Chain A
């Protein structure tokens, strides 16, 4: 799509309190352009609680309801129920970090997904608790330095987008701050659908990942180009890779070496060769799994038509 097609309206106002080169604010700006004015944002404790600014002012120009850390999906369920009762048609959208999604908020998220609440849940995943100053989360990848994993995290991350697919909600998509037009289109698509929709954005963080502030978009692209982050959509039971991930799977693009991504960031600077091998194997396994998921999908539908 052409960038000029994006609305000029700004719902994230300038002069907010986000760090230099913040991917979360960058993505929120795009997301709000896609959602438009008839949107209420539910924000649990996260960087967004801070960069929206302090009372009596706010940097966000749609209704925002800030809620307790573990409660985003439940609060959104309540707001949606109320709007339905009042006959008000609006996008009820959770905007949460990976802390509020992967860890403390997972129970409420799973509950809302299972109930197929008519809300959009967007997780901006910066792979750690950035707001409290860079601690590990369930989304932190193996090997990454945080202030609670000084020698590097010893476990691989979990994957909530896949968990949402297993909840069989109407729509699941992954996106990256490296591809904002793709993000815009996925949010647009989600907006037109009904039921529970989950979008997870890889949201690089310059101070937490330790790379120069201007490289946010580049890091967001590298994650996808090296297979560390995979772009896909799961729509009414159908799974498909999208964008650069699709091009790599179809052999139209060569996957870049994982080292290009890892060593562009200070949080991985200490990795041993063995660590890199371990991460590479993890990435390859996930690739195989998701590519197989896509081909099984095609095989199944082919069989159906025979």
Chain B
């Protein structure tokens, strides 16, 4: 552990944590457009840039589409970039999310997860970012504010790693985390993250053309490279996680977190803020004699297939809780988890539950009851307390 690490605890919201992380991660160009519930990130950053507290250029663009375009441009020109958005704003960026991936620009973005309308709904729902699953972005889902701060900083180290060169979104439930204040340690990360050193950038002395036509002879090579970069990212994530632990003293998981899973018969699998409630349920269930455990996925992309199989290889039952849904199919995490467990010789029974869409509150009782077999329907409609 480094001795020069200065620790300062502040009670702040998830959005403030995101803004401070961007500042401390030496972001030099921000382009963003306000949208509830991510707006405070944009406000916070613009204030820090205006007062000179943050040494960056803030482009107050006219849309999320332009926000991402400006981030991609700035990244390609050689700057570390950041933006924050949510819901419709993220959907509006969709085209450029693909663009950032194939352009190999390591943009990092905070996403305050929110439902997509109509009807208008500003509350927590992971559908916005889960629908961006196939854009090639790395996706991390946080369950507390400390994690938001830590993960954004670590995300740059992963995204910019020359074996990776992929954009990353750090997601956290709207309002549930974005507007909820908790004490977090604002670690000075000056020695953890250096100024951005791009692998490639626009060069006036040796000009090159970025992103012209990539014909059928070459396109698959690029796509395969992107997929291999995702695989390499898992390795880099493990290194960065360890390095950050050594630096800050905090073990902030990047891939997954397990809770009382070693001897569990029943595993719950979750992502995001609801995972924290699930921990309470694990303890309750254990008190009642049910050997329950929790596997929280932090990284949804790249999906840690091997790690998940290892962790769930010996449980009998798995309950997957999705705060999102793919109409016409199931909860996305549920579907993907089943696909991964198919590799096991005798896979556990896997059940899926849809919970908490559009901000419907999710308490620990939901998890408890589901595991006890008291919620046998796929859709958990009631708020149980």
**Residues on A facing B (Cβ under 8 Å):** 37-40, 42, 49-50, 52-56, 58, 60-68, 70-71, 73-79, 81-86, 88, 90, 107-108, 110-111, 114-115
| B101 close to A (CB within 8 Å) | no
Number of A-B contacts (CB under 8 A): 153
CB under 8 Å from chain A, chain B span 169-216:
202-204, 207-215
> Are B69's CB and A82's CB within 8 A?
no
A45 shortest CB reach to chain B, Å: 11
CA distance A74 to B61 in the complex (A): 8
> Are A78's CB and B29's CB within 8 A?
yes
- The residue on A at minimum CB distance from B58 is A81
A265 shortest CB reach to chain B, Å: 29
> Are B214's CB and A77's CB within 8 A?
no
> Are B72's CB and A75's CB within 8 A?
yes
**Residues on B facing A (Cβ under 8 Å):** 28-29, 31, 56-57, 59-63, 65-67, 69-79, 81, 95-96, 99, 202-204, 207-215, 218
Interface residues of B, dominant DSSP: mixed
> B204: which A residues are within 8 A, CB to CB?
37-40, 62-63, 88, 90
Could you list 14 examples of A-B contacts with CB < 8 Å?
Answer: A55-B213, A63-B207, A65-B202, A67-B73, A68-B69, A70-B95, A71-B65, A74-B67, A74-B70, A78-B29, A79-B202, A81-B70, A82-B74, A82-B77
CA distance A13 to B63 in the complex (A): 36
> Are B28's CB and A71's CB within 8 A?
no
- The residue on B at minimum CB distance from A72 is B69
Told that A63-B202, A67-B73 touch, could you supply 17 new A-B pairs with CB distance under 8 A? Answer: A49-B213, A58-B212, A64-B209, A67-B211, A70-B69, A74-B61, A77-B31, A77-B66, A79-B74, A79-B202, A82-B73, A82-B77, A82-B79, A86-B78, A86-B79, A107-B63, A107-B65
Known: A79-B74, A86-B78. A111 touches B61 (CB 8 A): yes
CA distance A217 to B48 in the complex (A): 53
> A61: which B residues are within 8 A, CB to CB?
207
Known: A63-B204, A77-B31, A83-B77. A68 touches B95 (CB 8 A): yes
CA distance A111 to B62 in the complex (A): 6
> A70: which B residues are within 8 A, CB to CB?
65, 69, 95
CA distance A82 to B107 in the complex (A): 13
CA distance A94 to B216 in the complex (A): 28
- The residue on A at minimum CB distance from B79 is A82
> Are A111's CB and B66's CB within 8 A?
yes
